[in-house]
Structure formats: structure tokens, C-alpha cells
Amino acid sequence: MENLEVVFHLSSPVSLGFPWVFFDSLLAHVMLREELGEKYYSLPTKIPVKEIPKPPVKYYHDVPVASVSIFEPQGPLQVFGYFKRGDFPFPRGRISRGSGFFKDFYLKAVYIPAQRARFYCTGELSEVKRLVSKVPALGKDRNIGFGFVKLVEVKETPFEYGLVRDGLAMRPIPVKYLKYYEDSAYLAYKPPYWARESVELCAVPFTRVELR
């Protein structure tokens, strides 16, 4: 396994649903899409998929050695509001606008006008290269044009930066694996990141830590 730096050059701002994008979950997402094919788009909603493929990265205990996103340049957050509010002819009769096809919404997409998203990891170079080449866009609301990827660069780095770099945590690391941590919060530290089982008291990304 090699120490890698992956840089996504973006052609549109990245919309976020959480302050960071996890690199290992990005790889897992591509792998799951490859595995399921068209079925990926009709996943069951009542029983969520828990069998998530293991991305080709190194693990420190059960923590993937893959960083969260570093957006460059770091600008202020912005909000883009978009809505659906009865701007099409309604059929005759009674319809519900609170739910279903005619449901109204006024959504907000929080975005970062970044030009690059940088990640670090320790993994198999050829496999990581293959998987990242299949990422057309990053973040949320990609269907309305956010986070389009222009170019991906994968480079080798001399040191392992996926977990800790210059004393700073590069991703949530459970405090049980740390000798010292500056700040902590309840965060998901392994895939699936939406599951309660993955949540533990972790060191917050980009705060000072020392591994055990």
C-alpha cells in the first residue's frame, strides 16, 4: 500500500450536508455502485444497506487511513435556495401539496465555492486511481450541478497523512486510540457514516491529537 494524495479539481462549488466529505466513504460509494449496477438506484428504504464494500485502504484498528476533505481556497459558506411551489398546471380535483408528487418544498443547499478538494490516504495506488476516475462529482445536490469534477490527480506522498498530519487529526479518530486530544465530539468514524453504530466519541478533524 502506498501513501497517496488525491486532488479533485472542481468546475463548480461543492454543496455539503456535513462539514466534511470522507474519502473512504467516497471509494465505498463507487464500489457499491459498481457492485449493484442499476440496482443501486432502487435500494430498499425500510432496511438500509449495511453490507458496505471495504475500500482498498489501510486500517488503523478499525479506522480507515483516509482523510476528510480539505477544500481550497477556504472561503465562507454560501446558501443557494431552490424551490418547487406549484409552478405547473394542477390536475382537477383535490390534491395534497404537503406530500407526494405535488409536494412543495423550499430547500437550501449550503455550498463552499472551492476550486480543489484534497484528500490523503494509504491504499492501493492502481485501485484508488481506478475508483476516483469514476467520480463525476462531489458532495450533495450533484443533480443540480454542484461539485462537478474537472480533473483528478493521484500522487504518492513520502509520509502517511491519512490519519494524522503535523500533529493534526485528518479525520475523526476515536479517543480510545489516542494518548492526547484537544477537542472531541460524537462523530461517525467508519462506514456507514449514517449509522448510529459507527458513532463514538472522537477527536475532531484538524485539531491536535497524539496516537497511542
Partner 1 sequence: MRSPLHQGGVEIDKEWLGKWREYFLAHYDEARVGDKVAEAAEFTRQYINEGLVSVSGGKDSMAMLHIITSRVKRNIHVFHWDHGPYLIPREVEQEILENLFKVAPYAYIHIWKYRYGWSEKARTEWRPWYSEFFKTLEELTRRLRARYHLLGVRADESSRREARGRVVERRSWIEVHPIYHFTWRDIWAYIFKHNVPVPRVYYAYAKLLGWDRVRLVTFFDREFEKYGSTTLDSILMWRHRNLETSRETRLQATTPRTKERGFQQQ
Q: Could you list the residues that contact partner 1 (CB under 8 A)?
A: 16-19, 70, 74, 77-79, 81, 103-110, 140, 168, 185-188, 196, 199, 201, 204-207
Q: Which is nearer to partner 1, 53 or 80 (CB)?
A: 80
Q: Which is nearer to partner 1, 42 or 74 (CB)?
A: 74
Those residues with Cβ within 8 angstroms of residue 11's Cβ, 6 or more apart along the chain or in another chain: 148, 149, 150
> CB of 186: closest distance to partner 1 in angstroms?
4
According to DSSP, the β-strands at 149-156 and 2-10 are antiparallel
Q: Which is nearer to partner 1, 131 or 169 (CB)?
A: 169
> CB of 142: closest distance to partner 1 in angstroms?
14
> CB of 63: closest distance to partner 1 in angstroms?
17
Sheet holding 2-10, edge to edge: 70-72, 116-123, 2-10, 149-156
Q: Which is nearer to partner 1, 54 or 108 (CB)?
A: 108
Sheet holding 105-112, edge to edge: 14-16, 105-112, 78-84
Bridge partners of 84?
Answer: 105
**CA–CA separation, 40 and 98 (whole Å):** 28
**CA–CA separation, 26 and 137 (whole Å):** 10
> CB of 134: closest distance to partner 1 in angstroms?
26
> CB of 111: closest distance to partner 1 in angstroms?
10
Q: Which is nearer to partner 1, 42 or 99 (CB)?
A: 99
Is 139 in contact with 16 (CB distance < 8 Å)? yes
Q: Which is nearer to partner 1, 30 or 109 (CB)?
A: 109
> CB of 56: closest distance to partner 1 in angstroms?
26
Mapping DSSP onto H, E and C, the string for 70-87 reads EEECCCCCEEEEEEECCC
Amino acid at 133: S
